[in-house]
Amino acid sequence: MRAQSSATAAVPIAVTAPRDRRGFGTLQAALGVIAFSLTFPATAWGLEGFGPWSLVAVRSVLAAFIAGGCLLALRVPPPDRKHWPGLAVVGAGVVLGFPMLTTLALQTSTTAHAAVVVGLLPLTTALLSALRVGSRPSRTFWTAALAGAAAVLAFTVQQSGGALTTADLYLFAALLVCAAGYTEGGRLARVMPGWQVIGWALVLCLPLTLPVAAVALTVEPVTLTAHSVAGLLWVAAGSQFLGLIVWYRGMAAIGIPKASQLQLAQPLLTLVWSVLLLNEQLTVAAPLTAAAVLVCIAVTQRARG
- Under 8 Å between Cβ of 171 and 114: yes
The percentage of the chain sitting over the pLDDT mark of 90, rounded to a whole number, equals 43
Q: CA 157 → CA 1, 89, 180, distances in Å?
A: 67, 30, 25
Which residues contact residue 233 at a Cβ distance below 8 angstroms, ignoring those fewer than 6 apart? 62
- Helix (H), strand (E) at residue 1: none
Task: Please determine, for residue 57, whether its predicted confidence score (pLDDT) is greater than 80.
Answer: yes
Task: Please determine, for residue 7, whether its predicted confidence score (pLDDT) is greater than 80.
Answer: no
Give 12's pLDDT tier (boundaries 50, 70, 90): very low
Q: CA 13 → CA 19, 96, 211, distances in Å?
A: 10, 43, 52
Give 19's pLDDT tier (boundaries 50, 70, 90): low
DSSP-assigned letter for residue 284: T
- Report pLDDT digits (tens) over 218-277: 999 999 999 999 999 999 999 888 888 888 888 888 887 778 778 778 888 888 899 999
- Report pLDDT digits (tens) over 65-91: 999 999 999 999 999 999 999 999 999
Q: Give 120-143 as a DSSP string.
A: THHHHHHHHHHHHT-----HHHHH
The predicted pLDDT at position 301 comes to 67
Annotate 244-266 with b (16+ C-beta within 10 A) or e (fewer). Answer: bbbbbbbbbbbbbbbbbbbbbbb
Task: Please determine, for residue 3, whether its predicted confidence score (pLDDT) is greater than 90.
Answer: no
Q: CA 155 → CA 78, 109, 117, 171, distances in Å?
A: 44, 15, 9, 15
Type of residue numbered 243: G
- Helix (H), strand (E) at residue 173: helix 166-188
The predicted pLDDT at position 21 comes to 64
What is the spatial distance between Cα 201 and Cα 10, in angstroms, rounded to a whole number? 40
What is the spatial distance between Cα 104 and Cα 249, in angstroms, rounded to a whole number? 29
- Report pLDDT digits (tens) over 180-219: 998 898 889 888 888 899 899 999 999 999 999 999 999 9
Most confident among 77-86, 128-137, 288-297 (mean pLDDT): 77-86
DSSP-assigned letter for residue 97: I
Give 101's pLDDT tier (boundaries 50, 70, 90): very high
